[in-house]
Amino acid sequence: MGVTAWISRANPEPDPIDDPATVPEPASPRADAPDESAVSSMDWRALRAAVEGCRLCPLSESRTSTVFGVGATEADLLIVGEAPGAEEDRQGEPFVGRAGQLLDAMLAGVRQSRATAYIANVLKCRPPANRDPSAEESTLCAPYLQRQIELIQPRVIVAVGRIAAQRLLGEDLPLARMRGRVHYYGSRRIPLVVTYHPAYLLRRPSEKSKSWRDLLLATAVLDGAGS
């Protein structure tokens, strides 16, 4: 068990996912944003149907499929990424392809899997060319993720990548300043740990040891939360 078993690809180019210069500006909610009171009362079936039928932003016009989430609906551990990529858009499942394989290996290292954790994204549709989600898109999609969190009631959340962490925490800090400590999400103050996106780790394998420490921190918090 450990980081050395993860898939790697050496390519030291800067990672746009974690480049603070690309942080989108905050946006005000639109008048046609999802009715949060309606979404907040949905069960899993109604929520999935709402996501599949969502037409609130132009991403609905370019998507192949929505990417709702996968895993145990009463999971102790929730993994939140930023948005689907091309393969996720084709398959309708978050974190597939090489980045997904790496995430699976990371989870296996802390005795978790897609069957025991829940995996979701801030956005349910793929942004064209895998660009960063805009603040407006994140705002429009936020009620869906919030309801997923309410239904799951996880004991620990792991935010994977800068944008997921910023959206969940409501901060514009670079990832390096958010990782390495425990944050808290929402009124229930769910412990939240920030780590690197697997796609970034494929380009920067030297950072895998940091992500491994982040996962150990999340596991320690999870173990403590259950004691």
The 10s digit of each residue's pLDDT in 123-182 is: 999 999 889 999 999 999 999 999 999 999 999 999 999 999 999 999 999 999 999 999
Q: What is the mean pLDDT of each run of 10 residues along the chain (227 residues)?
A: 38 39 38 69 96 94 96 97 95 94 96 97 94 93 97 98 96 94 96 97 96 96 75
Mean pLDDT over all residues of the chain?
86
For the residues of the chain, what is the DSSP string, one character each?
--GGGS------PPPGGG-GGGPPPP-PPPTTS--HHHHTT--HHHHHHHHHT--SSTHHHH-SS----EE-TT-SEEEEES---HHHHHHT-SS-HHHHHHHHHHHHHTT--TTTSEEEES-SSPPGGGPPPPHHHHHHHHHHHHHHHHHH--SEEEEESHHHHHHHHT----HHHHTTSEEEETTTTEEEEEE--HHHHHH-GGGHHHHHHHHHHHHHHHHHHT-
**pTM for the full predicted model:** 0.83
Q: Just give the CATH number of 33-225.
A: 3.40.470.10
Domains in the chain: boundaries = 33-225
